[in-house]
Structure 1
Amino acid sequence: MSLTLITPTAWADDPPREPHPTADTSVRTDSPRFERLHLACTQTDRNKVHCEWRTPTGDNAVKVVLYGSVNSGGRVVLKTLRPPAAGSYTRSIPRRARELDFVLVTFNVAGQVVGRSPVITIVV
């Protein structure tokens, strides 16, 4: 039996890719320093999705990163804020997209995840 690795194709209207952080984004949510972040995303019209988030309250976060993926493909950085702050992001829906996933993550100075939102999935 042979395995074939299929890599996602970037759409022409996708934002440029930034390197993924080296931190493991699977974190223990029972840690007292872990923050559950608030992220709200809605499809505003046929071709756009708008996301908003609140200012992270954790005092050890140095940046907040919004990640996105199309059709369960590779994760890309959509927006980074240093220092972490409330923000918003509007994304055009790529052609042939069936679903868009968004997640908000905060990192400390060592690159460790200190906060994360639930994944928001928009079915188009």
Structure 2
Amino acid sequence: MGGLSATESSLLQSGRYEVAVALELPHLVDAAARKTATICIDPDNTASYGLEALSDSNPLAKCSPKSAHLVDKTLTFDIICAGPDAARAVATYRFTSDRQTFEGQIVMTMGGKNMTMTETQLG
């Protein structure tokens, strides 16, 4: 797992966040599944800070974050599931200057399928 330095991790405000989540499928306008979730941002969890796939029945929710990179106010990491033809994703989160809100996008490729989905988050 790629960890971040103490200076980099201090860019993230720890605490509890209410997150608006939408799961979007390509070519299906206004068909996004939507919900609100509660998460805890944890600067000590340098793999993903507690950020993860939040949509219902998402196979990536149980997979490991890897290769975290924080540049300026943007955190990116890969989500890799074990096994052949497993689901995978790239997560990108952008934090505001006050470290109180973020926008996230997880672009997922489902294992063994030619299908992509995007989960968007606003917290």
Global fold match (TM > 0.5): no
TM range (shorter): 0.3 to 0.5
Q: Report the TM-score, using the length of structure 2 for normalisation.
A: 0.33
Query: Which has the greater radius of gyration?
Result: 1
Q: TM-score, normalized by length of structure 1? A: 0.33
Q: Which has the higher strand share?
A: 2
Structure with bigger helix share is 2
Q: Which has the higher contact order (CA 8 A, sep 6+)?
A: 1
